[in-house]
Amino acid sequence: MIVRRDEKVRLISRVPLFEGCSQAELARIAAIATQVEVGKGEVLLKQGELGDEFFVLVKGSADVRKGKTHLRSLKAGDFAGEIALVADTRRTATVTTTSPVTALRATRRGFSELLKASPSIQQKLLVALANRVAPDSL
């Protein structure tokens, strides 16, 4: 299965971090995402490790666990690890595939280069991040 450009853009547009981006900006973000095939039982993200990549599931499923606690199941269209694109933080949960998965993968390095080249995406990302923390601020 090869994910077409318009499908990449559609999937990327569902990520709240990119909600303020135009279609052209979403296309630029989608262009840095590579398609990966991952087998059942593989760890995409591991709790406690430094994160440097983000995934959007195209096909398949995965479980999200914090310690031994199951938090949720991911399916096509769901995503994980988006904060790793902008912050040098440790993963708060482990994501393990429960079936073979086709996913889009973006790295912090590629995303960082995109932000340097596109101040408009950078600004919209800052607004999205501020909106995420606003309910908790004074």
What pairs with residue 59 in β-bridges? 102
Mean residue pLDDT of the chain comes to 89
Q: How far apart are alpha carbons 112 and 109 in whole angstroms?
A: 5
Q: What is the DSSP letter of 13?
A: H
A 10 A CB-CB count for 109 gives: 12
pLDDT digits (tens, 9 = 90+) for 45-104: 999 999 899 899 999 999 999 999 999 999 998 989 888 777 888 999 999 999 999 999
Out of 2-11, 15-24, 35-44, 107-116, give the one with best mean pLDDT: 35-44
Return the structure tokens found at 48.
Answer: 């406690």
Is 5-136 assigned to CATH 3.40.50.720?
Answer: no
pLDDT for 137: 52
Q: How far apart are alpha carbons 101 and 56 in whole angstroms?
A: 10
Q: How far apart are alpha carbons 26 and 19 in whole angstroms?
A: 9
